[in-house]
């Protein structure tokens, strides 16, 4: 048996990357959420070859101080929380300080940034086993640009698991959709192999969000969707439920956002599915976009590194309230068990 030794930095980051960086779309999610946390009003996602060759994310957010660039690429380094109390009431999308270090350990990453009051921009790359960071001056506009090239080039097992360019891009498109709906006031542009694929303009307010919904979920959904909104103490739930006539063969138009974070919550999606049972044909899927707002300390986002899941302090309350709202909303509409679908 060997004696104990510490693992080198790149390896520890690659181990962490195993959890967060599953495929190009997970990189897009992490990087876009960083743009949102930086107060960006516009985010451009530029993809080549389904993300396997290049993922470039450009934002007009507040940028990173030159002296922090190297730190941003190291693990457990974040500007978002300082204490355990901050962690318990985290308002930003990120807080683990792991994404950039993880992504950098399994790709060729370049981070370029410029703050509004800085004279010029700077860029950083991390290389080698110790992931030594080189910082050099670079032409840049205010904001941040991250380029992730050749994802998994040094982890062949992962690279082998990448699906076709089309499949990987579909996952990216889905991620951008979710982020665009989660952050209505931010404009998104998605490009693939040099072509603009999607443009989601900023919605001026939540009310203007319906326009965005049309772009993301299609005209069929947004025209028929039933809007609902209700508050219970500090809990606020609002959104659009697809009318029962609008059923689909896939579950790709199902969105739940908790405090601006796209999540996949089994308890809540089960509750919604139950509410639609008997109203739509078996094997078909409802469409919905539901926005839940609750005090940050009521929900624990530190459940899984990908932050797809959350844990509520009082799940029953949210569940029951949501079911009640959906039942009220749907019982106002006619139940249709014919074969009309709006795919
Ligand atoms: P986390 O988001 O959990 O803090 P990351 O590894 O994703 O960790 O990012 C590390 C830090 O780098 C962030 O805390 C933030 O200060 C900075 N950062 C990353 N991306 C951006 C960006 N697009 N704009 C401004 N700052 C950024
Ligand atoms: Mg982050």
DSSP track, 183-234: STTSEEEEEETTEEEEEEPPPSSGGGHHHHHHHHH-HHHHHHPEEEEEEETT
The DSSP bridge partners found for residue 196 are 191
Residue 11 clears pLDDT 70, i.e. is over it:
yes
Residue 334 clears pLDDT 70, i.e. is over it:
no
pLDDT tier, 333 (very low <50, low <70, confident <90, very high otherwise): low
Q: Whose CA is nearest to atom 20 of ligand 1?
A: 34
Length of the chain counted residue by residue: 343
Q: What is the mean predicted confidence (pLDDT) over 286-315?
A: 91
pLDDT tier, 85 (very low <50, low <70, confident <90, very high otherwise): very high
Q: Whose CA is nearest to atom 14 of ligand 1?
A: 78
Q: Whose CA is nearest to atom 23 of ligand 1?
A: 35
Query: Counting atoms of ligand 1 from 1, which one is nearest the CA of 81?
Result: 4
Q: How high does pLDDT run on average in the chain? A: 92
Q: What are phi and psi of 297, to 5 degrees?
A: -80, 0
Q: Which of 73, 47, 49 is nearest to 58 (CA)?
A: 47
Burial of 65 (0-12, 13-18, 19+ CB in 10 A): middle
Query: Counting atoms of ligand 1 from 1, which one is nearest the CA of 103?
Result: 6
> CB within 6 Å of ligand 1 — which residues?
30, 34-35, 38, 59, 61, 63-64, 72, 78-80, 94-100, 144
* 3 state DSSP class of 47: strand
Q: Which of 171, 145, 195 is nearest to 52 (CA)?
A: 171
Contact 239, 258 (CB under 8 A): no
Q: What are phi and psi of 155, to 5 degrees?
A: -130, 80
Q: Whose CA is nearest to atom 8 of ligand 1?
A: 97
The pLDDT of residue 337: 35
Residue 176 clears pLDDT 80, i.e. is over it:
yes
* 3 state DSSP class of 269: helix
pLDDT tens for residues 122-170? 999 999 889 999 999 999 999 999 999 999 999 999 999 999 999 999 9
Domains and their CATH numbers in the chain: 9-200 (3.30.565.10), 219-331 (3.30.230.10)
Work out the number of other CB atoms within 10 angstroms of the CB of residue 164: 10
Q: What is the mean predicted confidence (pLDDT) over 233-250?
A: 92
The DSSP bridge partners found for residue 263 are 256
Query: Counting atoms of ligand 1 from 1, which one is nearest the CA of 62?
Result: 25
pLDDT tens for residues 185-224? 999 999 999 999 999 999 987 778 888 888 888 888 888 8
Centroid of chain to Cα 271: 23
Contact 298, 286 (CB under 8 A): no
Residue 69 clears pLDDT 90, i.e. is over it:
yes
Q: How far is the CA of 73 from the centre of ligand 2 (A)?
A: 11
Contact 187, 198 (CB under 8 A): no
Residue 340 clears pLDDT 70, i.e. is over it:
no
């Amino acid at each position: 048996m060997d004696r104990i030794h510490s693992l080198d930095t790149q390896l520890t980051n690659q181990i962490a990357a195993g959890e967060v960086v599953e495929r190009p779309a997970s990189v897009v999610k992490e990087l876009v959420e960083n743009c949102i946390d930086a107060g960006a009003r516009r985010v451009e996602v530029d993809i080549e070859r389904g993300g396997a060759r290049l993922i470039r994310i450009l934002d007009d957010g507040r940028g990173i101080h030159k002296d922090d660039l190297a730190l941003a690429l190291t693990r457990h380094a974040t500007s978002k929380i300082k204490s355990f109390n901050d962690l318990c009431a985290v308002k930003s999308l990120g807080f683990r300080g792991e994404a950039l270090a993880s992504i950098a350990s399994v790709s060729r990453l370049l981070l370029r940034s410029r703050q509004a009051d800085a004279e010029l921009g700077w860029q950083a790359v991390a290389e080698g086993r110790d992931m030594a960071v080189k910082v050099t001056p670079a032409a840049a506009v205010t904001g941040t640009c991250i380029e992730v090239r050749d994802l998994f080039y040094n982890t062949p097992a992962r690279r082998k698991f990448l699906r076709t360019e089309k499949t990987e891009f579909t996952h990216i498109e889905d991620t951008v959709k979710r982020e665009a709906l989660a952050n209505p006031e931010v404009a998104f542009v998605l490009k693939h192999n040099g072509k603009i694929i999607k443009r989601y303009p900023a919605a001026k307010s939540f009310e203007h969000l319906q326009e965005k919904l049309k772009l993301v979920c299609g005209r069929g959904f947004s025209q028929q969707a039933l809007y609902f909104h209700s508050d219970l103490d500090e809990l606020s739930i609002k959104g659009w439920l697809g009318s029962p006539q609008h059923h689909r063969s896939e579950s790709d138009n199902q969105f739940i956002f908790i405090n601006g974070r796209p999540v996949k919550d089994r308890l809540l999606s089960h509750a919604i599915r139950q509410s639609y049972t008997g109203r739509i044909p078996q094997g078909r899927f409802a469409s919905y976009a539901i926005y839940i707002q609750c005090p940050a300390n009521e929900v624990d986002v530190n459940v899984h590194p990908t932050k797809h899941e959350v844990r509520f302090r009082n799940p029953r309350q949210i569940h029951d309230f949501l079911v009640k709202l959906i039942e009220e909303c749907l019982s106002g509409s006619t139940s249709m068990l014919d074969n009309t679908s709006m795919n």
